[in-house]
Amino acid sequence: MKSFKVCSFLVAIIVMMTITSCIPYRKVVTTPVVPEITIMEKVVVLPEPPVTVVKIRENIMFEYDSAVVEESEMDKIEAVDYLLTNYPDTVIVLKGYASSEGPEDYNMDLSKNRALAVKAILVEKGIDEDRIKILGEGITKLFGNLFNLNRRVIILDIK
């Protein structure tokens, strides 16, 4: 009986070894979980530098009830063209005015048309129109009753 137990035990071991040798060997591999990385950009918004008005460059004068630039005023526009060509970062503001004669809304349109007339000449000379801002001031900020001095476009340059 003892030999039967030993034999049974040996047979059981042999059967186990045979069964396990038939099963393919599997190695369990675990891959580490990589955390998802999010890259965030940091956007820095710089404040715009302050705008400073440098000085009045020129006064372009106009005839009564006219938005036509006279030939006698062209040398002033040439000087502004020279400035804008040689200083490409400069932006100018053209402020048109009108005398107090006539209706206020008409004079407002006339002042804008005067500024536009000067701008058109500068753009025709090759200056980028984005560098030229216009304002129609109408009959605001007049030189008293000096009608001829109120019919003007002043040119301000901004850095």
In a domain? residue 97: yes
**CATH number of the structural domain spanning residue 124:** 3.30.1330.60
* Cross-sheet strand order for the sheet of 91-96: 53-61, 152-158, 91-96, 132-136
Dump pLDDT digits (tens) for 56-91: 567 888 888 889 999 999 998 998 898 888 888 888
In a domain? residue 38: no
Q: What was the pLDDT predicted at 129?
A: 94
Q: How much is the pTM?
A: 0.59
Q: What was the pLDDT predicted at 152?
A: 59
Compute the distance between CA of residue 143 and CA of residue 32 in angstroms, rounded to an integer.
Answer: 83
Can you list the residues of the chain whose pLDDT is less than 50? Answer: 147
Domain count, the chain: 1
Question: By residue range, what is the domain housing residue 67?
Answer: 53-158
Helices and strands per DSSP (H, E), number in the chain: 4, 4
Q: What was the pLDDT predicted at 41?
A: 72
Q: What was the pLDDT predicted at 92?
A: 87
Q: What was the pLDDT predicted at 100?
A: 77
In a domain? residue 57: yes
